Structure 1
Amino acid sequence: MRNQQMKRHARRMRRNGLQPMVVIDSNGPVPDLAAVIIARGLRRYRSEIGPIALALVLVAASLTLHLSHPGWWIGILVTAMVSASALTLVGDRVGLALRIERLYAATVALSAGGWLAAATAIGVTYRPLPQIILVGTPVLSVPWWVHRRRRARVRVERTLAAWPEISQSVGLAGSRVMSAVVDVWGWRARFGLARGQTIQDAIGKIPALESALGTFRGAVRVYPTRDDRANRFELRVLNIDPHANAIAWPGPSVATITEPIDLGPFEDAAPARVLLLRRHALIGGIAGSGKSGGINVLMGNLSACGDVVIWAIDLKRGMELQPWAPCIDRLATTPEQAHALLRDAVAILEARADHLASTGRRVWDPSPQMPALVIVIDEYAELADDAPEAATFTDSIARRGRAVAVTLIAATQRPTQKAMGKGAVRSQMDVRMSFRVRERKDVDLILGQGMLSAGWHAHTLNAPGKFLLSAPEHDIPRRARAFLLSDQAVSEAAQKHAEGRPTLDEVSRQAPEEATTLVSADASETPLDESASLDGSESGESPEAALWSLVVTAPDEGIPVPLLIQASGKSRRWVYYQLNGLANSGRAVQVSRGRWRAIHSKRDDVP
């Protein structure tokens, strides 16, 4: 009613040419507006006024407890002491990662609990309790107010409060904040995506997110959540680069190739572990990006494994791998040596496959007596240029080496089709390490087609040793930094691990010699028997009969298996199958590795 009268009075004043005076009711909008402003201010600066609020709560609690339960002071004091001890010992479990944070929290808990116990027992007005809380509150608040992580938490809260506008501007409208945590390096938050949005959409918006959040370039990461939900993602924002400085190698992380090797830490300090058994690896990156450091980490761990024999190819005359020579069983530094090494590796591969077939097994299980063979090739492109015929051998190793534990590790600046050959070498590399590349398209060359668009931005790596790791157990783009091995560390590790290095097993040692014997027999123009060809198929003789005719007439030292392969015209596996059948029936015996003969008392038998 009063408002209507005021409106009528204002209209009459306007008709008379007078300006009405506005009078606002004391119960009107001004008090409501003031309350809203105050509430918003308290909420926005709740972190800053937190210590004052705690002091007021202590005063109110002490007044209530002193009047109703003054005898509770003992329990309050014990609780404060226990809480302070717990915060000191296990405060990291509640987000207090730094020791100084835990000590500060324990000090505040003990001080507040002690004051509350005293005020409960004797009253809050008893001197000097009022003076203590008036002076102690600002003194203990100073670390809280200046603490970097507290300030960072406030900034993060303000940023996330504006997320609806940010999401709208970057093209992720409808996404929502689910949780957020501030850590030593920055902060991370979990987001729920709107219907139809995927984590690939978020990865594609990383540059826009960096701009909207006001970070430096390369500071934003997008990862799947731990539950791997398709409609969620984790956003990580770095204020400080955890990989800004080199990280010294702590020593080998494995003693067997059957365990994953630790290459270096990810940005969250988790180890970048990768298994190399039955996998081939490709290492790429421009000069100065840290490839040699990555190879040193691999060599340091492989040299500590007691079930690995290391062969290496370094066509820069051994400049990179020569320091590891005490741990390398065979090092090739010229194109001719590299060709011979790879040729012998293929022979070993085939011999191991035949041995597995003859014994009824499918895979070669590494052990000190039967070690795996790892071939490390530095600057693979040089091998393709200087020894192009070796590409056939590397292609064979890449396709057939897994089951027999012959592993290929190739490092190159740009794994182009020309450098890697036209075969299966690059496509068979299960483990990919990409150090910094100069051009965006090189990301797909090293890590695989489509990896650049999926968020694997190796061209943004900004320091030597930083890399992206793609492997069956690492399918999201996470930055890591390889451990750094100084020249002294390499020398010490090589000398330490040189003792007790395993040697090739008998099957593998004999394989290159047998392959050479077969090649020599193929090159010879004179057959063993001048009256007939060694190939039983050409003389009309069955392969079984041709094989037996040579076994039964073999000298005491036996006949090499390559000659039996040539005589029968069959594969190595078929020959070993026949020989094992003859041995099981007591008609033939293996004299030594790769040499067989018939048992003397039954040489006149017919197969």
Structure 2
Amino acid sequence: MSRHRVSRHEMRRKARRMRRLGVQPIADVTDVEFAELITAGIARFLWRYRSEVTPITIALLSLLAGTVLHRWYPTWWPTVALMTATTAGTLATAGRWLNLTRAIERGYAAIAATLLGGWLTAATILGPLSSPLPAVLALGCLVLAIPWWAHRRRRARVRVERTLAAWPEISQAIGLAGSRVQSAIVDLWGYRTRIALARGQTVEDAIARISGIESALGTRRGAVRIQPVPEKANRLELRVIETDPHADAISWPGPSVSTIHDPVELGVFEDGSPVRVSFKRRHALVGGVAGAGKSGAVNVLMGNLSACPDVIVWGIDLKRGMELLPWESCLDRVAVTPKEATALLRDAVRVLDGRAEMLAMQGLRVWEPAHDAPALIILIDEYAELVDDAPDAIHYADSIARRGRAVAETLIAATQRPSQKAMGNSAVRSQMDIRVSFRVRERRDADLILGAGMHKSGWHADKLDAPGKFLLSAPEFDIPRRARTYLLTDDTVQRTAVQHADRRPALDAISLAALHEPPHEREDAVEGSQQSRGRHARQAASQATEDALSAALRNAPREGASVGDLMEAADMSRPTLYRRLALLEDQGMAVQVSRGRWRATATDADSPAFGDEG
């Protein structure tokens, strides 16, 4: 009786059933074909190490191709030679489009294509086994394999593929079960992969598990970045930074703009792309703890703004000018005391009002910066000190933040103390379109600078680990991407300030006229006009209400008008109506006929001054 042969599928099915019953299955070696095991093992080995054996695979395929060409298509050797030359030339000149970013990589690919194509041409003519072609193929395979095996990016790609092959187990361990890897790319600093989330999972769920992902992937702390994919809510890009591109300071390359209409280059993202943001008619907030790099950002801004002939910069530095005085030759005004800061901001409001008045008279809506009509930027260093030492100045700063955009008057506030008192008790913070956060101590500080709930969404400013690293939030930058600002040395600041001092513009005639008016005249006039308009409006509304109540009482029948009718006629609330009726009764101008019914007194029923009393 022949022994029944059990299929591998049947064996796995029985093993799963035994495990569910708590029994560890034991395979009977008589049920296993050793040939199948050996074949499967070899196939598994070749697949796992497919990258390492690629040179050998290419050599074997070349031998097979040479055999086919020599046997059936021996006259094709000119075509093979032409294709070889074309391929080698394409790889050498346009290899960067095939991810061969370095010249040495393109050279290697062109040489390999030339040698392989030359061998195939010879094999097509002579035959692949003709001496010395087999020895040449073996020696060429060995020589070309050495750079291939030693290539850093290839080895990194293989390591990444093997790491991500374990993603199903990793996703189970970190609480993202069901997510899967869609693609992976190795770059100069690490690798990035696109992850498809399971149904119901969100990018925020993955952000909350960054520490677990770092542990599961075996990376260093702070190496993982997670960014949403705008096209789909259930996709994310996971990036692993193995070599920090921002480990060292980045020297400032020089001004990136020559007009305020162009975006300013603040630094470099981790992928090497520049951080460009426009400050035209946009207020900005820069925050971070001491030593985090805030002063570097201020220097980068001054280095660029001072190169623009259509920008005037006024500065406030309550650290007695430690940060801004080196730029004094490029600053139209600088304030270093609370009193000077208050005066500067008061004058900025006067300029704002003068420009707004001119725009209104000419029927225009915005002030277009030009050399003869420059934008005005007020740069405030240590804004928190301004809140403490010059509280009166905050009212002017609020006015600039609310009304300054149309007239090209911009407020840029920097602070080392992003406290609730400094950042949350005025209108300045809510008007800031641009938020730049350097390292902060606590998560709530990141929310104070960048906005409520930003830390939960992945804006982890508390994890920035070097001076100069920052996160930028703006309408065009709504994804958390780490960047590093440029470094300006003291010599660079001094040299740049001297170089740009001669190109600074003068304040326009309209703004100068607003500043040269007698002190407080414009403010008093504007304030008085606003108060007068408000007082007249309140008086008119009150008089209309009194007139309506007067008419309703005069026209009431002998039994009087009900309280409900009087409330509707005078548009008053019940408490207000009762207070007014009590006053009129004390003055003898109204009488309560019965409970809840009122009318005018007989003597005053026809008096035209009824509603003017009291």
TM class by smaller structure: 0.7 to 0.9
Asked if residue 205 in structure 1 is aligned to residue 193 in structure 2, the reply is: no
1:291 matched residue in structure 2: 294
Distance 1:81 1:567 in 2: 82
Normalised by the length of structure 2, the TM-score is 0.80
Q: Which amino acid aligns with 1:58?
A: S
2:41 matched residue in structure 1: 37
2:402 matched residue in structure 1: 399
C-alpha displacement at 1:133, in angstroms? 1.3
Distance 1:88 1:416 in 2: 57
Distance 1:513 1:4 in 2: 108
2:470 matched residue in structure 1: 467
Structure 1, residues 538-570: CA drift from partner, whole Å, max 9, x if none? xxxxxxxxxxxxxxxxxxxxxxxx599879956
Residues 567, 376 of structure 1: alpha-carbon distance in 2 compared, 3 angstrom cutoff: closer
2:256 matched residue in structure 1: 253
Distance 2:530 2:329 in 1: 42
2:479 matched residue in structure 1: 476
Pairing partner for 1:360 from 358, 363, 374: 363
1:546 matched residue in structure 2: none
Distance 1:467 1:128 in 2: 62
Residues 224, 566 of structure 1: alpha-carbon distance in 2 compared, 3 angstrom cutoff: closer
Asked if residue 410 in structure 1 is aligned to residue 413 in structure 2, the reply is: yes
1:93 matched residue in structure 2: 97
Contact 1:189 1:234 survives alignment (8 Å):
yes
Distance 1:346 1:330 in 2: 15
- Comparing 413-422 with 349-358, greater Cα deviation is found at 413-422
Contact 1:309 1:371 survives alignment (8 Å):
yes
1:110 matched residue in structure 2: 114
Q: Note the aligned Cα RMSD (angstroms).
A: 2.3
Report SS of the residue matched to 1:215: coil
Show structure 2 runs of 5+ residues with no match. Answer: 6-27, 535-614
2:376 matched residue in structure 1: 373
Contact 2:423 2:448 survives alignment (8 Å):
no
Structure 1, residues 238-258: CA drift from partner, whole Å, max 9, x if none? 111111111111121122212
2:538 matched residue in structure 1: none
C-alpha displacement at 1:422, in angstroms? 2.3
2:131 matched residue in structure 1: 127
Distance 1:164 1:500 in 2: 61
2:2 matched residue in structure 1: 2
Residues 221, 517 of structure 1: alpha-carbon distance in 2 compared, 3 angstrom cutoff: closer
1:341 matched residue in structure 2: 344
Residues 204, 60 of structure 1: alpha-carbon distance in 2 compared, 3 angstrom cutoff: same
C-alpha displacement at 1:517, in angstroms? 5.7
Q: Which amino acid aligns with 1:417?
A: Q
Asked if residue 500 in structure 1 is aligned to residue 503 in structure 2, the reply is: yes
C-alpha displacement at 1:499, in angstroms? 2.0
Contact 1:166 1:212 survives alignment (8 Å):
yes
Asked if residue 327 in structure 1 is aligned to residue 330 in structure 2, the reply is: yes
Pairing partner for 1:66 from 70, 73, 80: 70
Distance 1:444 1:316 in 2: 26
**Equivalence map 1:225-264=2 (5 Å):** 225=229, 227-264=230-267
Contact 1:414 1:445 survives alignment (8 Å):
no
Normalised by the length of structure 1, the TM-score is 0.81
Distance 1:210 1:111 in 2: 44
C-alpha displacement at 1:170, in angstroms? 1.0
Q: Which amino acid aligns with 1:339?
A: T
C-alpha displacement at 1:181, in angstroms? 0.9
Distance 1:166 1:200 in 2: 18
Contact 1:435 1:458 survives alignment (8 Å):
yes
2:80 matched residue in structure 1: 76
**Equivalence map 1:546-565=2 (5 Å):** none
Aligned-pair identity (%) = 59
Q: Which amino acid aligns with 2:510?
A: V
Contact 2:307 2:503 survives alignment (8 Å):
no
Distance 1:570 1:513 in 2: 26
C-alpha displacement at 1:300, in angstroms? 1.2
C-alpha displacement at 1:141, in angstroms? 0.6
Distance 2:430 2:89 in 1: 57
Contact 2:312 2:376 survives alignment (8 Å):
yes
Asked if residue 457 in structure 1 is aligned to residue 460 in structure 2, the reply is: yes
Structure 1, residues 320-339: CA drift from partner, whole Å, max 9, x if none? 11221221111112222211
Asked if residue 514 in structure 1 is aligned to residue 517 in structure 2, the reply is: yes
Q: Which amino acid aligns with 1:285?
A: G
Distance 1:136 1:281 in 2: 61
Report SS of the residue matched to 1:309: strand
Q: Which amino acid aligns with 1:251?
A: G
Distance 1:220 1:141 in 2: 33
Distance 1:216 1:432 in 2: 28
Q: Which amino acid aligns with 2:166?
A: A
1:485 matched residue in structure 2: 488
Asked if residue 382 in structure 1 is aligned to residue 385 in structure 2, the reply is: yes
Distance 2:241 2:43 in 1: 32
Asked if residue 172 in structure 1 is aligned to residue 201 in structure 2, the reply is: no
C-alpha displacement at 1:311, in angstroms? 0.6
Residues 123, 563 of structure 1: alpha-carbon distance in 2 compared, 3 angstrom cutoff: closer
C-alpha displacement at 1:368, in angstroms? 1.3
Structure 1, residues 122-164: CA drift from partner, whole Å, max 9, x if none? 2222332222111121111111111111111111111221111
C-alpha displacement at 1:471, in angstroms? 0.7
Report SS of the residue matched to 2:232: coil
Q: Which amino acid aligns with 1:192?
A: A
C-alpha displacement at 1:86, in angstroms? 1.9
Report SS of the residue matched to 2:239: strand
Q: Which amino acid aligns with 2:91?
A: L
Residues 36, 121 of structure 1: alpha-carbon distance in 2 compared, 3 angstrom cutoff: same
C-alpha displacement at 1:215, in angstroms? 0.6
C-alpha displacement at 1:488, in angstroms? 2.1
Pairing partner for 2:434 from 412, 431, 436: 431
Distance 2:450 2:520 in 1: 41
Contact 1:384 1:420 survives alignment (8 Å):
no
Structure 1, residues 73-114: CA drift from partner, whole Å, max 9, x if none? 222222222222222222222212222222222221122112
